[in-house]
Structure 1
Amino acid sequence: RSSSTQYNEGEKVEKGDLRPGDLMFFSGRGGGRSRVGHVAMVVDVNPDGSCVFIHASTSQGVVYQKFPDGGYYSKRYIGAKRIIPTDAKA
């Protein structure tokens, strides 16, 4: 249920291999650079390798964000995980 617990699940995904549905993990404000404190979901991947993710912002509610953003989220990025395998059947 927490972002740090979610980070312990799934398979690691490199930035260049992100797909819609993958979870992206970021450090929180006070937890240090390597401690997961925030999670987002990839919704779109662009041909240039950048992506758009959706997450719940403390100040703005649910928002879409481009990554890399050259700032806040780029500096706090820890990694990404794929929870649902790509070969999973509905």
Structure 2
Amino acid sequence: MQQILSNLKADDHRRLAIAVRVHWSNLHWVLDVAFDEDRNRTRQNHSAANLAVIRHIALNLFKNETSRKVGIKVKRKRAGWDNDYLLRLIRGI
């Protein structure tokens, strides 16, 4: 089965490159602001990649939680303070 990733024409490389760049820059910005990812200095073995995967999972959990219209940073703080909220986030998988 063929999956469609975009409605852009196959020869529209420039627009596709811009769309990909915007998507990844937005994702990096959110990870840096909400998780302070740029200050992470983990370098041993695969730990940096493992922590990046965990941050992406956490970001997806926060984005899927829609009970309140607040930012990722606020949701992250609340999850640290409120165990019931944290369990609701995790059960949202």
The TM-score by the shorter chain falls in which range?
under 0.3
TM-score by length of 1: 0.22
Structure with greater Cα Rg: 2
With CA pairs under 8 Å and 6+ residues apart, which has the higher RCO, 1 or 2? 1
TM-score by length of 2: 0.21
